[in-house]
């Protein structure tokens, strides 16, 4: 997780350990998601159901609103209009 997040925060020049913020994020995320010292799919699913924003904690996985609208217009279009 650390390697996926290390380039996501702006580093402050006054920080002694610039990676400290990332390490803190990883610890906080694991505390929210892990319940048995292993991050299983069940742990991930429960955490995401409790806190929706965790779904994209490790990067964007959902499409933007414009792409969603375009997909819906195509997918739900009347079959005779295609």
In this predicted model, what pLDDT tens digit does every residue of 38-47 receive, in sequence order?
Answer: 888 888 888 8
Place of tokens 């610890």: 27
Q: Give the residue extent of every domain in the chain.
A: 2-81
22, burial (CB in 10 Å: exposed 0-12, middle 13-18, buried 19+): buried
Judge whether 38 and 21 are in contact, CB under 8 Å.
no
Give me 57's structure tokens.
């904690």
Whether this prediction's pTM lies above 0.85 is answered by no
pLDDT for residue 58: 64
């Amino acid at each position: 997780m650390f390697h996926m997040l290390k380039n996501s925060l702006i580093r402050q020049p006054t920080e002694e350990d610039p990676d400290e913020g990332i390490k803190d994020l990883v610890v906080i995320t694991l505390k929210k998601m892990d319940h048995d010292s292993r991050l299983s799919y069940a742990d991930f699913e429960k955490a995401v159901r409790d806190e929706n924003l965790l779904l994209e904690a490790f990067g964007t996985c959902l499409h933007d609103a414009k792409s969603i609208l375009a997909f819906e217009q195509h997918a739900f279009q009347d079959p005779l209009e295609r």
